[in-house]
Chains A and B, each alone.
Chain A
Amino acid sequence: VTLVDPDELFGASDALSVHAPLLPSTRGMVGTAAIGRMPEGALLVDTSRGGVVDHEAVIAALRSGRLAGAALDVHPEEPVDAAAGARYLGVPSLLLTPAPRRCDPRVERADLPRHRRCGRRRAGRDVTTRSSSHAHPSPGSTASRRPSVLCVGIAVVDVIAHARGDLVPGVKQFADRITSAFGGPATTAAAAAARLGVDVELVAAIGDDDRGVQLRAALEARGVRTDRMPVRAGVGTAASLVIITPDGERTIVNVTDPALRAPLDPGAAGELIARAGMVDAVLVDVRWPAAAALALAGAARAAVPACSISIAPSRTSTTGCVGSRAPRAMSSPRVMPSTICSSSRGARRSRTIVAAALDALHRPRGRWHGRRHARCRRRRLA
Protein backbone atom coordinates (compact mmCIF):
# COMPACT_ATOMS: atom_id res chain seq x y z
CA VAL A 1 0.00 0.00 0.00
CA THR A 2 1.43 3.34 -1.05
CA LEU A 3 0.56 6.60 0.65
CA VAL A 4 -0.16 9.39 -1.82
CA ASP A 5 -1.61 12.88 -1.58
CA PRO A 6 -5.32 13.35 -2.30
CA ASP A 7 -4.75 14.80 -5.78
CA GLU A 8 -2.69 11.83 -6.83
CA LEU A 9 -5.21 9.47 -5.27
CA PHE A 10 -8.01 10.77 -7.49
CA GLY A 11 -5.76 11.14 -10.52
CA ALA A 12 -4.26 7.68 -10.43
CA SER A 13 -7.07 5.41 -9.22
CA ASP A 14 -8.81 3.10 -11.66
CA ALA A 15 -11.20 2.42 -8.81
CA LEU A 16 -11.81 4.55 -5.75
CA SER A 17 -13.24 3.25 -2.49
CA VAL A 18 -14.31 5.89 0.01
CA HIS A 19 -13.62 5.27 3.71
CA ALA A 20 -13.53 8.79 5.10
CA PRO A 21 -15.60 9.89 8.08
CA LEU A 22 -18.26 12.57 7.56
CA LEU A 23 -16.79 15.80 8.88
CA PRO A 24 -17.28 19.40 7.81
CA SER A 25 -14.01 19.06 5.91
CA THR A 26 -15.02 15.89 4.10
CA ARG A 27 -18.62 16.78 3.20
CA GLY A 28 -18.93 16.71 -0.59
CA MET A 29 -15.24 15.83 -0.86
CA VAL A 30 -15.92 13.43 -3.70
CA GLY A 31 -17.78 15.77 -6.05
CA THR A 32 -17.58 16.97 -9.62
CA ALA A 33 -14.02 18.29 -9.28
CA ALA A 34 -12.62 15.14 -7.66
CA ILE A 35 -14.40 12.82 -10.07
CA GLY A 36 -13.17 15.00 -12.95
CA ARG A 37 -9.60 14.26 -11.89
CA MET A 38 -10.16 10.49 -12.00
CA PRO A 39 -9.16 8.54 -15.10
CA GLU A 40 -11.89 8.13 -17.72
CA GLY A 41 -13.86 4.96 -17.04
CA ALA A 42 -12.96 4.62 -13.36
CA LEU A 43 -15.12 2.89 -10.75
CA LEU A 44 -16.37 4.42 -7.50
CA VAL A 45 -17.50 2.59 -4.36
CA ASP A 46 -18.81 4.44 -1.31
CA THR A 47 -19.44 2.61 1.93
CA SER A 48 -18.41 5.46 4.23
CA ARG A 49 -21.13 7.86 5.33
CA GLY A 50 -23.77 9.67 3.31
CA GLY A 51 -22.62 13.18 2.45
CA VAL A 52 -18.97 12.53 1.67
CA VAL A 53 -19.83 11.69 -1.94
CA ASP A 54 -21.93 14.13 -3.97
CA HIS A 55 -24.52 11.84 -5.58
CA GLU A 56 -25.55 14.40 -8.22
CA ALA A 57 -21.94 14.51 -9.40
CA VAL A 58 -21.84 10.70 -9.55
CA ILE A 59 -25.09 10.55 -11.53
CA ALA A 60 -23.75 13.09 -14.03
CA ALA A 61 -20.42 11.25 -14.34
CA LEU A 62 -22.17 7.91 -14.95
CA ARG A 63 -24.43 9.45 -17.58
CA SER A 64 -21.48 11.05 -19.38
CA GLY A 65 -19.39 7.87 -19.16
CA ARG A 66 -16.72 9.64 -17.10
CA LEU A 67 -17.29 6.91 -14.47
CA ALA A 68 -17.76 3.39 -15.79
CA GLY A 69 -19.62 2.32 -12.66
CA ALA A 70 -20.50 3.32 -9.13
CA ALA A 71 -21.74 1.49 -6.05
CA LEU A 72 -23.41 3.75 -3.51
CA ASP A 73 -24.11 2.06 -0.20
CA VAL A 74 -24.68 5.17 1.88
CA HIS A 75 -26.87 8.15 1.17
CA PRO A 76 -27.17 11.76 2.34
CA GLU A 77 -30.71 11.08 3.59
CA GLU A 78 -31.45 7.62 4.95
CA PRO A 79 -33.65 5.79 4.42
CA VAL A 80 -34.06 6.78 0.77
CA ASP A 81 -37.77 7.13 -0.03
CA ALA A 82 -39.33 6.68 -3.46
CA ALA A 83 -39.21 10.42 -4.17
CA ALA A 84 -35.51 10.63 -3.35
CA GLY A 85 -34.83 7.38 -5.20
CA ALA A 86 -36.31 8.73 -8.43
CA ARG A 87 -33.19 10.67 -9.27
CA TYR A 88 -31.28 7.43 -9.78
CA LEU A 89 -33.79 6.04 -12.31
CA GLY A 90 -32.17 4.98 -15.56
CA VAL A 91 -28.65 5.89 -14.45
CA PRO A 92 -26.31 3.33 -16.07
CA SER A 93 -23.92 1.06 -14.15
CA LEU A 94 -25.14 2.13 -10.75
CA LEU A 95 -25.43 -0.29 -7.82
CA LEU A 96 -27.56 1.04 -4.98
CA THR A 97 -27.54 -0.78 -1.65
CA PRO A 98 -28.97 0.18 1.74
CA ALA A 99 -25.86 -0.56 3.86
CA PRO A 100 -27.12 -4.04 4.74
CA ARG A 101 -24.06 -5.13 6.62
CA ARG A 102 -23.77 -6.96 9.80
CA CYS A 103 -21.01 -8.45 11.73
CA ASP A 104 -20.94 -12.19 11.27
CA PRO A 105 -20.56 -13.64 14.79
CA ARG A 106 -18.24 -16.34 13.51
CA VAL A 107 -16.00 -13.80 11.78
CA GLU A 108 -16.07 -11.52 14.76
CA ARG A 109 -14.63 -14.14 17.06
CA ALA A 110 -11.94 -15.05 14.61
CA ASP A 111 -11.15 -11.44 13.94
CA LEU A 112 -10.90 -9.90 17.38
CA PRO A 113 -7.69 -11.53 18.56
CA ARG A 114 -6.01 -10.52 15.33
CA HIS A 115 -7.00 -6.91 15.91
CA ARG A 116 -5.51 -7.07 19.35
CA ARG A 117 -2.30 -8.53 18.07
CA CYS A 118 -1.62 -6.17 15.24
CA GLY A 119 -2.46 -2.87 16.78
CA ARG A 120 -4.26 -0.81 19.30
CA ARG A 121 -7.54 -0.96 17.45
CA ARG A 122 -10.05 -2.87 19.45
CA ALA A 123 -13.67 -3.60 19.03
CA GLY A 124 -15.82 -2.02 21.66
CA ARG A 125 -13.68 1.04 22.06
CA ASP A 126 -14.74 3.22 24.90
CA VAL A 127 -14.83 6.86 24.00
CA THR A 128 -15.13 8.65 27.27
CA THR A 129 -13.21 6.44 29.61
CA ARG A 130 -11.31 3.23 29.73
CA SER A 131 -11.56 0.49 32.21
CA SER A 132 -8.42 -0.70 33.84
CA SER A 133 -8.56 -3.91 31.87
CA HIS A 134 -8.30 -1.88 28.67
CA ALA A 135 -5.53 0.34 29.86
CA HIS A 136 -3.43 -2.49 31.15
CA PRO A 137 -4.16 -5.85 29.58
CA SER A 138 -2.17 -7.69 32.20
CA PRO A 139 0.15 -6.79 35.02
CA GLY A 140 2.97 -8.64 33.32
CA SER A 141 2.86 -6.60 30.17
CA THR A 142 3.19 -3.31 31.98
CA ALA A 143 5.93 -4.50 34.23
CA SER A 144 8.07 -5.54 31.31
CA ARG A 145 7.97 -2.18 29.56
CA ARG A 146 7.97 1.46 30.59
CA PRO A 147 4.72 3.17 29.72
CA SER A 148 5.13 5.98 27.19
CA VAL A 149 3.41 9.34 27.19
CA LEU A 150 3.42 12.13 24.63
CA CYS A 151 2.89 15.65 26.01
CA VAL A 152 1.98 18.48 23.65
CA GLY A 153 1.61 22.12 24.60
CA ILE A 154 3.63 25.16 25.50
CA ALA A 155 6.97 25.52 27.24
CA VAL A 156 7.79 28.58 29.30
CA VAL A 157 10.84 29.64 31.26
CA ASP A 158 9.69 31.04 34.60
CA VAL A 159 11.64 33.43 36.76
CA ILE A 160 10.09 33.22 40.20
CA ALA A 161 10.52 35.83 42.88
CA HIS A 162 9.40 34.97 46.41
CA ALA A 163 8.57 38.47 47.57
CA ARG A 164 8.85 39.45 51.22
CA GLY A 165 5.78 41.62 51.31
CA ASP A 166 2.70 42.56 49.34
CA LEU A 167 3.21 44.13 45.96
CA VAL A 168 3.10 47.90 45.89
CA PRO A 169 3.18 49.48 42.43
CA GLY A 170 6.03 51.89 41.85
CA VAL A 171 8.04 50.73 44.85
CA LYS A 172 11.16 48.56 44.88
CA GLN A 173 10.29 45.13 46.19
CA PHE A 174 12.55 42.66 47.96
CA ALA A 175 12.46 38.93 47.64
CA ASP A 176 13.80 36.11 49.77
CA ARG A 177 15.01 34.38 46.68
CA ILE A 178 14.64 34.40 42.91
CA THR A 179 14.64 31.06 41.14
CA SER A 180 14.19 29.74 37.62
CA ALA A 181 11.92 26.93 36.55
CA PHE A 182 10.18 25.72 33.49
CA GLY A 183 6.45 26.05 33.12
CA GLY A 184 3.52 25.44 30.85
CA PRO A 185 1.04 22.70 31.74
CA ALA A 186 2.31 20.13 29.27
CA THR A 187 5.93 20.86 30.11
CA THR A 188 5.57 20.49 33.85
CA ALA A 189 3.41 17.45 33.26
CA ALA A 190 6.15 15.93 31.10
CA ALA A 191 8.77 16.50 33.79
CA ALA A 192 6.48 15.01 36.41
CA ALA A 193 5.76 11.99 34.21
CA ALA A 194 9.50 11.45 33.67
CA ARG A 195 9.94 11.50 37.41
CA LEU A 196 7.27 8.84 37.73
CA GLY A 197 9.38 6.64 35.48
CA VAL A 198 7.40 7.18 32.32
CA ASP A 199 9.10 7.29 28.92
CA VAL A 200 7.93 10.80 28.07
CA GLU A 201 8.33 13.06 25.09
CA LEU A 202 7.43 16.73 24.98
CA VAL A 203 6.43 18.61 21.84
CA ALA A 204 6.34 22.34 22.55
CA ALA A 205 7.78 25.15 20.46
CA ILE A 206 10.76 27.17 21.67
CA GLY A 207 12.78 30.03 20.17
CA ASP A 208 16.39 29.87 19.02
CA ASP A 209 17.61 31.91 21.98
CA ASP A 210 19.55 31.13 25.16
CA ARG A 211 16.35 30.60 27.10
CA GLY A 212 15.36 27.90 24.64
CA VAL A 213 18.71 26.13 24.94
CA GLN A 214 18.52 26.33 28.72
CA LEU A 215 14.96 25.05 28.81
CA ARG A 216 15.71 22.15 26.56
CA ALA A 217 18.80 21.15 28.52
CA ALA A 218 16.83 21.28 31.77
CA LEU A 219 14.13 19.02 30.33
CA GLU A 220 16.66 16.57 28.90
CA ALA A 221 18.38 16.45 32.25
CA ARG A 222 15.13 15.28 33.77
CA GLY A 223 14.68 12.56 31.22
CA VAL A 224 12.15 14.28 28.98
CA ARG A 225 12.75 13.64 25.31
CA THR A 226 12.82 16.87 23.30
CA ASP A 227 13.87 15.69 19.81
CA ARG A 228 10.65 16.81 18.19
CA MET A 229 10.42 20.21 19.86
CA PRO A 230 10.20 22.78 17.06
CA VAL A 231 12.74 25.60 17.30
CA ARG A 232 11.41 28.82 15.75
CA ALA A 233 14.09 31.01 14.19
CA GLY A 234 14.31 34.62 15.33
CA VAL A 235 11.76 34.07 18.07
CA GLY A 236 12.20 34.31 21.83
CA THR A 237 11.25 31.34 23.98
CA ALA A 238 8.16 32.05 26.04
CA ALA A 239 8.94 33.41 29.50
CA SER A 240 7.11 34.47 32.64
CA LEU A 241 8.02 36.66 35.57
CA VAL A 242 6.24 35.15 38.55
CA ILE A 243 6.02 37.05 41.81
CA ILE A 244 4.74 35.13 44.79
CA THR A 245 3.74 37.13 47.86
CA PRO A 246 3.84 35.68 51.40
CA ASP A 247 0.08 35.02 51.35
CA GLY A 248 0.64 32.64 48.41
CA GLU A 249 -0.91 34.87 45.75
CA ARG A 250 0.99 34.92 42.51
CA THR A 251 1.31 37.57 39.84
CA ILE A 252 2.48 36.55 36.41
CA VAL A 253 3.90 38.64 33.60
CA ASN A 254 4.17 36.48 30.50
CA VAL A 255 5.63 36.98 27.05
CA THR A 256 4.76 34.53 24.29
CA ASP A 257 5.57 35.15 20.64
CA PRO A 258 2.56 34.12 18.50
CA ALA A 259 4.98 32.25 16.23
CA LEU A 260 5.42 29.71 19.03
CA ARG A 261 1.80 28.67 18.64
CA ALA A 262 1.79 28.64 14.84
CA PRO A 263 0.78 25.37 13.14
CA LEU A 264 3.48 22.79 12.57
CA ASP A 265 4.84 22.31 9.08
CA PRO A 266 3.28 19.32 7.30
CA GLY A 267 6.21 16.99 7.91
CA ALA A 268 6.31 17.68 11.64
CA ALA A 269 2.52 17.50 11.79
CA GLY A 270 2.54 14.05 10.23
CA GLU A 271 5.20 12.90 12.66
CA LEU A 272 3.22 14.20 15.60
CA ILE A 273 0.07 12.40 14.50
CA ALA A 274 1.99 9.19 13.98
CA ARG A 275 3.79 9.51 17.31
CA ALA A 276 0.49 10.10 19.13
CA GLY A 277 -0.71 6.78 17.79
CA MET A 278 2.28 4.87 19.11
CA VAL A 279 2.40 5.86 22.77
CA ASP A 280 0.36 4.56 25.70
CA ALA A 281 -1.21 7.93 26.46
CA VAL A 282 -1.34 11.45 25.08
CA LEU A 283 -1.63 14.56 27.18
CA VAL A 284 -2.32 17.88 25.49
CA ASP A 285 -2.41 21.42 26.73
CA VAL A 286 -4.77 23.38 24.50
CA ARG A 287 -2.68 26.52 24.70
CA TRP A 288 -1.17 25.34 21.44
CA PRO A 289 -4.43 24.31 19.77
CA ALA A 290 -3.02 23.47 16.34
CA ALA A 291 -0.63 20.87 17.71
CA ALA A 292 -3.05 19.64 20.38
CA ALA A 293 -5.63 18.87 17.72
CA LEU A 294 -3.11 16.85 15.71
CA ALA A 295 -2.04 14.85 18.74
CA LEU A 296 -5.63 14.16 19.75
CA ALA A 297 -6.42 13.12 16.19
CA GLY A 298 -3.49 10.74 16.11
CA ALA A 299 -4.45 9.33 19.49
CA ALA A 300 -8.11 8.90 18.59
CA ARG A 301 -7.15 7.24 15.36
CA ALA A 302 -5.17 4.56 17.16
CA ALA A 303 -7.48 4.37 20.21
CA VAL A 304 -4.77 5.75 22.45
CA PRO A 305 -6.14 7.34 25.62
CA ALA A 306 -5.82 11.10 25.51
CA CYS A 307 -6.27 13.77 28.10
CA SER A 308 -6.53 17.52 27.67
CA ILE A 309 -5.51 19.90 30.37
CA SER A 310 -8.10 22.59 30.64
CA ILE A 311 -7.04 26.18 30.93
CA ALA A 312 -10.48 27.40 31.83
CA PRO A 313 -10.98 28.09 35.53
CA SER A 314 -13.64 25.42 35.68
CA ARG A 315 -14.13 23.82 39.06
CA THR A 316 -15.21 20.28 38.45
CA SER A 317 -16.05 20.40 34.77
CA THR A 318 -15.90 17.09 33.01
CA THR A 319 -16.02 18.53 29.53
CA GLY A 320 -12.76 20.35 29.94
CA CYS A 321 -11.51 22.18 26.95
CA VAL A 322 -12.95 19.87 24.40
CA GLY A 323 -15.51 21.72 22.39
CA SER A 324 -15.23 25.00 24.24
CA ARG A 325 -11.76 26.37 23.65
CA ALA A 326 -10.56 23.67 21.34
CA PRO A 327 -10.50 24.05 17.58
CA ARG A 328 -13.12 22.30 15.55
CA ALA A 329 -11.01 19.26 14.85
CA MET A 330 -10.96 18.44 18.54
CA SER A 331 -14.69 18.37 18.91
CA SER A 332 -15.33 16.45 15.75
CA PRO A 333 -16.38 12.86 16.28
CA ARG A 334 -13.29 11.45 14.63
CA VAL A 335 -10.83 12.88 17.06
CA MET A 336 -12.78 12.73 20.28
CA PRO A 337 -10.17 11.95 22.90
CA SER A 338 -10.62 8.66 24.63
CA THR A 339 -10.43 10.19 28.03
CA ILE A 340 -11.56 13.64 28.85
CA CYS A 341 -10.45 15.34 31.96
CA SER A 342 -9.69 18.81 33.05
CA SER A 343 -7.60 20.24 35.78
CA SER A 344 -9.16 22.93 37.82
CA ARG A 345 -7.20 26.15 37.50
CA GLY A 346 -4.80 24.44 35.17
CA ALA A 347 -1.33 25.73 35.30
CA ARG A 348 0.99 24.74 38.09
CA ARG A 349 -0.17 21.44 39.46
CA SER A 350 1.78 19.31 37.11
CA ARG A 351 2.39 16.36 39.30
CA THR A 352 -1.20 16.12 40.35
CA ILE A 353 -2.34 16.51 36.79
CA VAL A 354 -0.24 13.64 35.59
CA ALA A 355 -1.10 11.42 38.51
CA ALA A 356 -4.77 12.14 38.03
CA ALA A 357 -4.52 11.67 34.27
CA LEU A 358 -2.89 8.29 34.72
CA ASP A 359 -5.42 7.49 37.39
CA ALA A 360 -8.27 8.52 35.11
CA LEU A 361 -7.20 5.88 32.64
CA HIS A 362 -8.05 3.25 35.22
CA ARG A 363 -11.36 4.63 36.30
CA PRO A 364 -14.56 2.94 35.34
CA ARG A 365 -16.42 6.21 34.88
CA GLY A 366 -15.79 9.08 32.52
CA ARG A 367 -16.19 11.75 35.15
CA TRP A 368 -13.07 13.07 36.73
CA HIS A 369 -13.44 15.59 39.45
CA GLY A 370 -10.57 17.92 40.14
CA ARG A 371 -8.50 16.54 42.95
CA ARG A 372 -7.34 18.50 45.85
CA HIS A 373 -4.09 19.78 44.50
CA ALA A 374 -0.89 19.07 46.26
CA ARG A 375 1.35 22.01 46.72
CA CYS A 376 3.34 22.33 43.59
CA ARG A 377 7.01 21.65 43.74
CA ARG A 378 8.95 23.75 41.33
CA ARG A 379 11.94 22.30 39.63
CA ARG A 380 14.87 24.65 39.50
CA LEU A 381 16.76 25.01 36.29
CA ALA A 382 20.12 23.36 36.42
Chain B
Amino acid sequence: MSGRPRVVVSEFIAPEGIARLGAAVELVADATLVSDRARLLAAVADADGLIVRDRTQVDVELLDAAPGLRTVGRLGVGTDNLDLEALAARGVVVHLATGANAISVAEHVIGALLCLSRPSFSSSERVIAGEWPRTELIGRELAGRRLGLLGFGATARAVAHRAAALGMEVVTSDPMVTDPGRA
Protein backbone atom coordinates (compact mmCIF):
# COMPACT_ATOMS: atom_id res chain seq x y z
CA MET B 1 0.00 0.00 0.00
CA SER B 2 1.25 3.43 -0.85
CA GLY B 3 1.17 6.36 1.54
CA ARG B 4 -2.14 7.67 0.34
CA PRO B 5 -5.35 6.04 1.55
CA ARG B 6 -6.89 3.80 -1.05
CA VAL B 7 -10.55 4.42 -1.86
CA VAL B 8 -12.78 2.22 -3.99
CA VAL B 9 -15.90 3.66 -5.62
CA SER B 10 -18.03 0.72 -6.70
CA GLU B 11 -21.00 2.49 -8.30
CA PHE B 12 -21.59 5.44 -10.55
CA ILE B 13 -20.86 8.81 -9.04
CA ALA B 14 -20.95 12.06 -10.99
CA PRO B 15 -17.48 13.16 -12.18
CA GLU B 16 -17.76 16.35 -10.11
CA GLY B 17 -18.14 14.22 -7.01
CA ILE B 18 -15.19 12.01 -7.92
CA ALA B 19 -13.10 15.11 -8.63
CA ARG B 20 -13.71 16.37 -5.11
CA LEU B 21 -11.83 13.41 -3.72
CA GLY B 22 -8.78 15.01 -5.34
CA ALA B 23 -5.26 13.70 -5.29
CA ALA B 24 -5.31 13.01 -1.57
CA VAL B 25 -6.46 9.47 -2.15
CA GLU B 26 -5.46 6.63 -4.40
CA LEU B 27 -8.72 6.13 -6.24
CA VAL B 28 -10.28 3.10 -7.89
CA ALA B 29 -13.56 4.32 -9.38
CA ASP B 30 -15.19 1.58 -11.40
CA ALA B 31 -18.98 1.62 -11.68
CA THR B 32 -18.98 -1.93 -13.03
CA LEU B 33 -17.67 -3.36 -9.77
CA VAL B 34 -21.15 -3.46 -8.31
CA SER B 35 -22.25 -6.05 -10.83
CA ASP B 36 -19.11 -8.19 -10.57
CA ARG B 37 -18.83 -9.46 -7.04
CA ALA B 38 -15.54 -11.30 -7.53
CA ARG B 39 -13.78 -8.23 -8.91
CA LEU B 40 -15.32 -6.07 -6.20
CA LEU B 41 -14.01 -8.35 -3.46
CA ALA B 42 -10.56 -8.28 -5.07
CA ALA B 43 -10.66 -4.49 -5.40
CA VAL B 44 -11.44 -3.87 -1.74
CA ALA B 45 -8.72 -6.22 -0.49
CA ASP B 46 -6.40 -3.36 0.42
CA ALA B 47 -8.95 -0.54 0.50
CA ASP B 48 -9.09 1.98 3.34
CA GLY B 49 -12.37 3.45 2.15
CA LEU B 50 -15.34 2.34 0.08
CA ILE B 51 -17.98 4.55 -1.52
CA VAL B 52 -21.24 2.95 -2.60
CA ARG B 53 -24.73 3.88 -3.62
CA ASP B 54 -27.65 1.56 -2.93
CA ARG B 55 -26.65 -1.53 -4.89
CA THR B 56 -23.33 -2.63 -3.44
CA GLN B 57 -24.05 -5.04 -0.61
CA VAL B 58 -21.66 -4.17 2.19
CA ASP B 59 -22.01 -7.38 4.16
CA VAL B 60 -19.85 -9.72 6.19
CA GLU B 61 -18.44 -11.31 3.04
CA LEU B 62 -17.26 -7.96 1.74
CA LEU B 63 -15.89 -6.89 5.10
CA ASP B 64 -13.99 -10.17 5.38
CA ALA B 65 -12.47 -9.42 1.99
CA ALA B 66 -11.49 -5.91 3.10
CA PRO B 67 -9.57 -6.24 6.36
CA GLY B 68 -8.13 -2.75 6.14
CA LEU B 69 -11.44 -0.98 5.54
CA ARG B 70 -11.87 2.01 7.82
CA THR B 71 -14.80 3.89 6.38
CA VAL B 72 -17.78 3.44 4.06
CA GLY B 73 -19.47 6.34 2.32
CA ARG B 74 -23.04 5.89 1.20
CA LEU B 75 -24.13 8.23 -1.58
CA GLY B 76 -27.83 8.61 -0.98
CA VAL B 77 -30.18 7.83 1.83
CA GLY B 78 -31.18 4.53 3.38
CA THR B 79 -28.92 1.81 4.65
CA ASP B 80 -30.67 -1.36 3.43
CA ASN B 81 -27.49 -2.46 1.66
CA LEU B 82 -25.21 -1.94 4.65
CA ASP B 83 -24.82 -4.47 7.43
CA LEU B 84 -24.57 -1.81 10.11
CA GLU B 85 -24.00 -4.23 12.94
CA ALA B 86 -21.10 -5.91 11.18
CA LEU B 87 -19.66 -2.49 10.30
CA ALA B 88 -19.97 -1.28 13.87
CA ALA B 89 -18.44 -4.49 15.21
CA ARG B 90 -15.34 -3.87 13.09
CA GLY B 91 -15.19 -0.21 13.91
CA VAL B 92 -15.82 0.81 10.30
CA VAL B 93 -17.25 4.30 10.24
CA VAL B 94 -20.24 4.87 7.97
CA HIS B 95 -21.03 8.23 6.39
CA LEU B 96 -24.46 8.83 4.92
CA ALA B 97 -25.33 11.63 2.53
CA THR B 98 -28.58 12.29 4.34
CA GLY B 99 -30.59 14.96 2.62
CA ALA B 100 -28.11 15.25 -0.25
CA ASN B 101 -30.62 14.20 -2.89
CA ALA B 102 -33.74 15.46 -1.13
CA ILE B 103 -34.32 18.31 -3.56
CA SER B 104 -33.62 16.15 -6.57
CA VAL B 105 -36.14 13.54 -5.44
CA ALA B 106 -38.67 16.21 -4.45
CA GLU B 107 -38.51 17.71 -7.95
CA HIS B 108 -38.94 14.24 -9.38
CA VAL B 109 -42.08 13.74 -7.26
CA ILE B 110 -43.54 17.09 -8.33
CA GLY B 111 -42.70 16.32 -11.95
CA ALA B 112 -44.37 12.93 -11.72
CA LEU B 113 -47.49 14.46 -10.17
CA LEU B 114 -47.68 17.03 -12.96
CA CYS B 115 -47.16 14.38 -15.65
CA LEU B 116 -49.79 12.10 -14.14
CA SER B 117 -52.25 14.99 -13.90
CA ARG B 118 -51.56 16.10 -17.46
CA PRO B 119 -51.69 13.20 -19.91
CA SER B 120 -50.82 15.68 -22.65
CA PHE B 121 -47.17 15.54 -21.58
CA SER B 122 -46.94 12.23 -23.43
CA SER B 123 -48.90 13.19 -26.51
CA SER B 124 -46.01 14.02 -28.90
CA GLU B 125 -46.43 10.87 -30.95
CA ARG B 126 -50.16 11.34 -31.32
CA VAL B 127 -49.72 14.97 -32.36
CA ILE B 128 -47.10 13.91 -34.92
CA ALA B 129 -49.54 11.27 -36.15
CA GLY B 130 -52.12 13.99 -36.73
CA GLU B 131 -54.58 12.77 -34.12
CA TRP B 132 -54.95 16.14 -32.35
CA PRO B 133 -56.30 14.49 -29.13
CA ARG B 134 -57.07 17.82 -27.53
CA THR B 135 -60.13 17.20 -25.39
CA GLU B 136 -59.20 13.82 -23.95
CA LEU B 137 -55.85 15.10 -22.70
CA ILE B 138 -57.02 18.06 -20.66
CA GLY B 139 -56.12 16.56 -17.30
CA ARG B 140 -56.58 18.09 -13.91
CA GLU B 141 -55.05 20.77 -11.72
CA LEU B 142 -52.97 19.92 -8.68
CA ALA B 143 -54.03 23.13 -6.94
CA GLY B 144 -56.63 22.50 -4.27
CA ARG B 145 -55.97 18.78 -4.20
CA ARG B 146 -54.63 17.07 -1.14
CA LEU B 147 -51.18 15.48 -1.18
CA GLY B 148 -50.50 12.80 1.41
CA LEU B 149 -46.89 12.17 2.40
CA LEU B 150 -46.23 8.75 3.88
CA GLY B 151 -43.15 9.52 5.94
CA PHE B 152 -41.91 13.01 6.75
CA GLY B 153 -38.15 13.06 6.53
CA ALA B 154 -35.90 15.44 4.60
CA THR B 155 -37.24 14.48 1.17
CA ALA B 156 -40.89 14.61 2.15
CA ARG B 157 -40.35 18.04 3.68
CA ALA B 158 -38.84 19.24 0.42
CA VAL B 159 -41.86 17.82 -1.42
CA ALA B 160 -44.26 19.51 1.03
CA HIS B 161 -42.62 22.87 0.45
CA ARG B 162 -42.97 22.59 -3.31
CA ALA B 163 -46.47 21.12 -3.27
CA ALA B 164 -47.64 23.97 -1.02
CA ALA B 165 -46.29 26.42 -3.58
CA LEU B 166 -48.48 24.73 -6.19
CA GLY B 167 -51.52 25.32 -3.99
CA MET B 168 -51.85 21.76 -2.77
CA GLU B 169 -53.00 20.95 0.73
CA VAL B 170 -50.40 18.72 2.39
CA VAL B 171 -51.00 16.07 5.05
CA THR B 172 -48.48 13.61 6.40
CA SER B 173 -48.24 10.56 8.59
CA ASP B 174 -44.98 9.51 10.18
CA PRO B 175 -44.60 7.56 13.42
CA MET B 176 -41.36 9.43 14.12
CA VAL B 177 -42.82 12.90 13.83
CA THR B 178 -45.12 14.63 16.30
CA ASP B 179 -44.80 18.18 15.05
CA PRO B 180 -44.59 18.62 11.30
CA GLY B 181 -43.91 22.33 11.68
CA ARG B 182 -44.16 24.62 8.71
CA ALA B 183 -43.55 23.26 5.26
- A residues apposed to B, CB below 8 Å: 1-6, 8-10, 12-22, 29-30, 43, 45, 47-49, 68-71, 73, 78, 93, 95, 97, 101-105, 107-108, 111, 115, 121-129, 270-271, 273-274, 297-298, 301, 303, 318-319, 322-323, 331, 333-334, 336, 340, 365-367
Contacts and interface: CB of A to CB of B under 8 A. Distances in A.
Contacts of B99: 111, 115, 121-123
Contact of B171 (A2, A270, A322): A2
Nearest to A14: B145
B108 A13 contact: no
B146 A47 contact: no
* Pairs of residues from A and B, 7 with the lowest C-beta to C-beta distance, nearest first: A13-B148, A69-B116, A71-B112, A19-B151, A333-B79, A20-B151, A19-B156
B149 interface: yes
B88 interface: yes
A122 B147 contact: no
Contacts of A102: 14, 101, 104
A78 B55 CA distance: 8
Contacts of B154: 115, 121
B118 to A, nearest CB: 10
A170 B172 CA distance: 63
Given A19-B159, A125-B96, A3 B179 contact: yes
Contact of B82 (A6, A273, A333): A333
Given A273-B176, A273-B178, 4 more contacts: A12-B171, A71-B115, A101-B104, A123-B100
Given A93-B116, A366-B88, A9 B80 contact: no
Contacts of A319: 85, 88-89
Interface string B88-115: 1101111111111111110011001101
B183 interface: yes
Interface residue tally of chain B, by bracket? 35 or more
Interface string B147-183: 1111111111001100010001111111111111111
Interface of B is mostly: mixed
A365 B150 contact: no
Given A107-B103, A319-B89, A333-B78, A9 B116 contact: no
A1 B68 CA distance: 47
A17 to B, nearest CB: 5
Contacts of B150: 6, 9, 16-20, 29-30, 48
Contact of A367 (B91, B104, B172): B91
A226 to B, nearest CB: 21
Contacts of A93: 116, 119
B117 interface: yes
Contacts of A104: 103-104
A181 B89 CA distance: 35
Nearest to B164: A1
A1 B172 contact: yes
A121 to B, nearest CB: 5
A1 B183 contact: yes
Contacts of B112: 45, 71, 73, 95, 97
B172 A2 contact: yes
